[in-house]
Amino acid sequence: MKNTNSVDTKAIAEKYLEEIKVLVDQPYTVMEVCGTHTVAIAKNALRDLLPSQLRLVSGPGCPVCVTDSKDIDRFLYLAAQPNVITATFGDMMRVPGSRKSLQILKSEGADIRIVYSTLDALDLARKNPDKEVVFLGVGFETTVPTVAVSIEQAEKEGIKNYSVLSMHKLVPPVLKALAEDPETQVDGFLDPGHACAIIGSKALEFMAKDYNMPGVVTGFDGLDILEGLVMLLRQRKEGRCEIEIQYQKVVKPEGNLAAQAIINKIFEPVDAYFRGLGLIPKGGLGLRKEYAEWDAGVKFALPEFESKEIPGCRCGNVLKGQISPLECPLFARKCTPLTPVGPCMVSSEGSCAAYYRYAQRSVK
């Protein structure tokens, strides 16, 4: 659903809000899985507009936030090595490891570059043949194919000084883990629009069939989200439990087959640690053996680090939707966007940063 001018937008929003009020005749909890949704909900102050019976909780869809502390310490160790250029998306810079962050390492002289695309990282490798360029692979299915293309390209051109440290995560296994966690109190999901553009809505159908948890793959503006909520509530009213697509302009049931093919060519599912959720079987992606030459985890002798909780930080509970950021004792006191303690405050898409920036009033 889209708007052409603000008058239309307001009228449509009011229509959806009216329908939601009628449909929410008993409590209903929705988890938004994607960090970009978290931001859209906060920005549009939807929690304040919606009836109190409809509870919105944030899920583990911010890839920076779910990166485990052992993986962070591992890439910080790698970034501090001489002769290594670390290429990363900007939102990883301030993520705290157990002692430092990329930003601190950079101020100490480590060569760390923020890139906009994996092809920029590959270009760094071309231009610095005497250095090792390592790209920090953090992201869900939306980002993974862009990383896969860079590895395919490196192979094609015979670029040997480029590698990827893969910490990629997958949406379906993390949803499965949430569905199997008895502490998850969620009636329906707003499923991630752009991850599903790649994997397709079919990849999430098991949630409805096996776990009786409906979902709507939803777009990213305020009206998209309201329509997604209406679609979820209509399912309950009509006694249906399905995975539907609100974001039809972009998402197809089968997804983007070209993107899926290149992901499968370069990567394979591996067990992965998630902050807050622990080990999720086949919850992440690692490079296939055939591409070990471009696998930073194989190429460099990296020590294993231990997972460590940040003292007092409740990002783990926030990521599972068990508490709202406002319930964390550090929120807006010790932990602010300028002095972040946990990753959910560091990443602009983290729930805590979104709550802080858009000054959420209500705790629901």
Partner 1 sequence: MCLAIPARVLKIEDMMAEVDMMGNKRTVGTHLVPEVQVGDYVLVHAGFAIEIVDQEYAKETEELLVEEAMAREKY
Where do contacts with partner 1 occur on this chain (CB under 8 A)? 2-4, 6, 34-36, 61-64, 89, 91, 116-120, 138-140, 142-143, 145-146, 149, 152, 192-195, 197-198, 220-221, 249-250, 256, 258-259, 262, 347, 349
Q: Going by C-beta distance under 8 Å and a sequence separation of 6 or more, which residues neighbour residue 268?
A: 285, 286, 287, 288
Question: CB 153 → partner 1: shortest distance, Å?
Answer: 8
Query: Judged by CB, which is closer to partner 1: 187, or 191?
Result: 191
Question: CB 254 → partner 1: shortest distance, Å?
Answer: 12
Query: Judged by CB, which is closer to partner 1: 140, or 273?
Result: 140
Output b/e per residue, 234-252; b: 16+ Cβ within 10 A. Answer: ebbeeeebebbbbbeeebe
Question: CB 149 → partner 1: shortest distance, Å?
Answer: 5
Query: Judged by CB, which is closer to partner 1: 54, or 198?
Result: 198
Query: Judged by CB, which is closer to partner 1: 194, or 320?
Result: 194
Query: Judged by CB, which is closer to partner 1: 139, or 172?
Result: 139
Strands 267-274 and 168-169: unpaired
What does residue 185 show for φ and ψ, rounded to 5 degrees?
Answer: -115, 75
Question: CB 122 → partner 1: shortest distance, Å?
Answer: 11
User: Alpha-carbon distance 322 to 57, whole Å?
Assistant: 8
135 in Cβ contact with 165 (< 8 Å): yes
Query: Given strand 28-32, what is the order of strands in its sheet?
Result: 54-58, 28-32, 188-192, 215-218, 243-245
Question: CB 214 → partner 1: shortest distance, Å?
Answer: 21
Question: CB 330 → partner 1: shortest distance, Å?
Answer: 23
Side-chain-side CA neighbours of residue 139 (13 Å): 24
In 182-237, alpha helices (H)? 193-199, 205-211, 222-237
Question: CB 58 → partner 1: shortest distance, Å?
Answer: 14
199's tokens: 């994997």
The three-class DSSP label of residue 338 is coil
Question: CB 123 → partner 1: shortest distance, Å?
Answer: 11
What is the residue type of 4?
T
User: Alpha-carbon distance 163 to 136, whole Å?
Assistant: 9
Query: Judged by CB, which is closer to partner 1: 23, or 319?
Result: 319
| Number of neighbours of residue 111 by Cβ within 10 angstroms | 18
Query: Judged by CB, which is closer to partner 1: 211, or 358?
Result: 358
Query: Judged by CB, which is closer to partner 1: 11, or 22?
Result: 11
| Number of neighbours of residue 299 by Cβ within 10 angstroms | 18
Query: Judged by CB, which is closer to partner 1: 148, or 213?
Result: 148
User: Distances in Å between the alpha carbon of 284 and those of 26, 147, 199, 316?
Assistant: 37, 14, 14, 18
Question: CB 196 → partner 1: shortest distance, Å?
Answer: 10
